[in-house]
Structure 1
Amino acid sequence: MKKNLKYKAANGLEMDLDYKPVVFCDDITTLTNEEWLELRRTGIGGSEYGIINGISNFKTARDLYMDKLGYTPYWMLEDNWFTLEFGHANEELVAKAFYERTGFKPYAVRKMFRHPKYYWMIADVDYFVDIKDSEGTVRTYILEIKTTSYQNRFDWGDDFAPKIPAGYILQGRSYACVTNVYGIIYACLYDNNINSLIIRTLERDLDQEAEIIESGRHFWQDYVEKGIEPPYVEVGENAKKSARKWIAPNIHKSVLEIDGKDEVINGDTTEGTYDELIDKIDNLNEKIKKLNSEKKDCEKEIKRLQSIIEFNIGEERDCIISLNKRQKDIGISFDERKSESVPVDKIRDLKKLDKELYEYLLAISFIKIKTTKNVKFYDKVKS
């Protein structure tokens, strides 16, 4: 970034762009996994901004809060460990594929960085890459290495409409903010050949960075530093799995805060948003079950009526039964087919009587003549 610059973001944050990141670990390769996790607990890493903004598929803000304070879950429900390990194991291979495709050689800096002003922002970057622009100025980018499955490759769009998954955008922009580089390049491999490498580029957006800074400040200063558990704002299976992790065996909690204002009173099904929703779901399921049963009865009755109608009409007529929803009557129409044909022996006699006419009829494949007309059989049949 250029020196001696300041920027006022859309959210009012005054940003100083003349800075260098603080290095608070010179070589992360010398750390044990536990030591690395302890350093990560001193701030918010790039991959964690998707969590605190509620767009992670694996963790909630409550999970992240508990981890930052060093709590161990009562129940281990992590189900994405293989995906994470697979991505780490293939980082070097994907970086090599990027070099083969672009000619730009990435380099690893195995340090851990912290923003000099926003101390809760930390970065543990995969690779950096230096690229000259059209004017010959060298620009430093972060190179983020990703892997995905063949089925999920369209999360990155295509050549005509490129995309970057939202969580990765937050991650890349937070890293760029910490390290003060020019932009972010993503290299994502979705198959086992170099042609499946997806490359996307993202330049700095200071307004978005200001929003990321604020979301991190809110989480860190209002929850982590104060020791206040963030409320569950996530929905669905993710929130349910999270809640299960932190339920202590044989410990009953009388009041559970849901979103900062609603409370669930355990053991009392007449109070609390959660219990009301459960009761509503149960009632709706009962109604659905009853309606499905009534629907099946109606379908059986329609088939019974249809069989009676078809029997009375006769086999030579194709009937169509329709329900008039407005008048609640059943209307029936059918096609009545009449056929006129000439027996084969008569055609042979025709050949003897008039050979020229016979050859003409043969040329037009004359065998028999069909006539079809639509007749309204019943206007209405009262059900």
Structure 2
Amino acid sequence: MRRSGTAVALGSWPDGSPEWLEARKSRIGGSDIAAVMGLSPWQSRWQLWHDKRGLEDGQSPSALLEAGHYVEPAAAQWYADHHLPGGLHLRNSGTWVHQDRDWQLANPDRLIVDNPHSERHPVGVLEIKYTPNNASQWGRDGTDSPPAHYWAQAQWYMDVFGVEWADFAVLSTWGFRCFHVERDDEWLGYARSEAQSFIAMLELGIEPPDTDTTPAAQYAVQRLRHPSITDEQVTITDPGDLRAIGQAAQLHAAAREATAEARELEDNAKAILAAAMGDARTALAPDGTTLATRRARKGRDGQPGNPYITLN
């Protein structure tokens, strides 16, 4: 039996495979605990309960998830090159449970170990995220401020393996960044209690109330309740509802127009700057404020590629 710290291996299966799904069915994993604790932006407790009970249709992997799969090895190598503490090593992981709590599941992207040939003594865990659409949710490089649902996931994995810290290697529109998280035992005690209560509800067939009050969660619940499309029409008569729908439509249209206008203005500004800057690195305003910077990414041969302009 494979062991790593306080974790016991269940197996190594591709994400989404029948074996992987079966291992998760009656257990609480890292993304699950975020939903259980009300921290997930994607799933409520009600949705998670239906998912575990097999009452929610499975979804095909998105293009973003597929891209993340290909990004993972590169992000791991970037972390190893720039942030992995000396004397430590990365190892591929798999599916694990806590040695005393078979219901507590972990699928970390990498284990951080002190022996390149053994996973017996983990030091930390590494999670890899590809989030091109949510760059603003993350803090500055090297800080401890990942989004709350990812923070919960890291805490859960630390608890399964009995380690004290976790790192995130994240790729977004700003490039790669690293985020460090320390273990929070007080929160973990509460999370384990909530997870056990949720599992009991699963086993007893007690459906959680769909009381998640965020509009996104309520919309997701209604989508699950009405999977069919008929030729019926409904008329919205409530003045407040009509006002909310009208405002949303106007803002959505305005946002699309603003996005297109912003792209056009940005392209125009970059064209002006490119002509003015030539080979210069930085463009300044008369008061010394930095307006833009020219940068160049390294190519596969290690040489700088064509420079590009970043507006400040």
TM-score by length of 1: 0.52
Q: CA offset at residue 47 of structure 1?
A: 1.1
Aligned length: 227
Higher relative contact order (CA 8 A, sep 6+): 2
Change (3 A) 1:79 1:154: farther
Q: CA offset at residue 286 of structure 1?
A: 7.5
Q: In structure 2, what residue type is equivalent to 1:89?
A: Y
Pick the structure with greater CA Rg: 1
Structure 1 counterpart of 2:224: 245
Structure 1 counterpart of 2:99: 116
Change (3 A) 1:59 1:79: farther
Structure 2 counterpart of 1:41: 25
Matches within 5 A, 1:182-221: 182-191=164-173, 196-221=175-200
Q: Contact 1:147–1:189 at 8 Å: present in 2 too? A: yes
SS at match of 1:187: strand
Is 1:24–2:24 an aligned residue pair? Answer: no
Q: Contact 1:21–1:114 at 8 Å: present in 2 too? A: yes
Change (3 A) 1:102 1:161: closer
Q: CA offset at residue 79 of structure 1?
A: 9.1
Structure 2 counterpart of 1:90: 71
Structure 1 counterpart of 2:52: 68
Q: Which runs of 5+ in 1 are unaligned?
A: 1-18, 133-137, 251-277, 289-383
SS at match of 2:152: helix
Q: Contact 2:125–2:158 at 8 Å: present in 1 too? A: yes
Q: Deviations over 1:141-196 (max 9, x none)?
A: 101111112x63232212596511100110000011111122111111114xxx82
Q: Contact 1:51–1:64 at 8 Å: present in 2 too? A: yes
Structure 2 counterpart of 1:332: none
Q: CA offset at residue 120 of structure 1?
A: 2.0
Change (3 A) 1:81 1:205: same
Q: CA offset at residue 126 of structure 1?
A: 0.7
SS at match of 1:108: strand
Structure 2 Cα separation of the partners of residues 173 and 246 of structure 1 = 32
Structure 2 counterpart of 1:378: none
Selected match of 1:128 from 111, 119, 127: 111
Structure 2 Cα separation of the partners of residues 232 and 114 of structure 1 = 29
TM-score by length of 2: 0.63
Q: In structure 1, what residue type is equivalent to 2:35?
A: I
Identity of aligned residues (%): 25
Change (3 A) 1:283 1:82: same
Structure 1 Cα separation of the partners of residues 61 and 221 of structure 2 = 14
Structure 1 counterpart of 2:295: none
Q: In structure 1, what residue type is equivalent to 2:52?
A: K
Change (3 A) 1:161 1:142: closer
Structure 1 Cα separation of the partners of residues 82 and 143 of structure 2 = 20
Structure 1 Cα separation of the partners of residues 73 and 92 of structure 2 = 13
Structure 2 Cα separation of the partners of residues 160 and 113 of structure 1 = 28
Change (3 A) 1:56 1:139: closer
Q: Contact 1:58–1:80 at 8 Å: present in 2 too? A: no
Selected match of 2:153 from 163, 171, 176: 171
Structure 1 Cα separation of the partners of residues 142 and 162 of structure 2 = 30
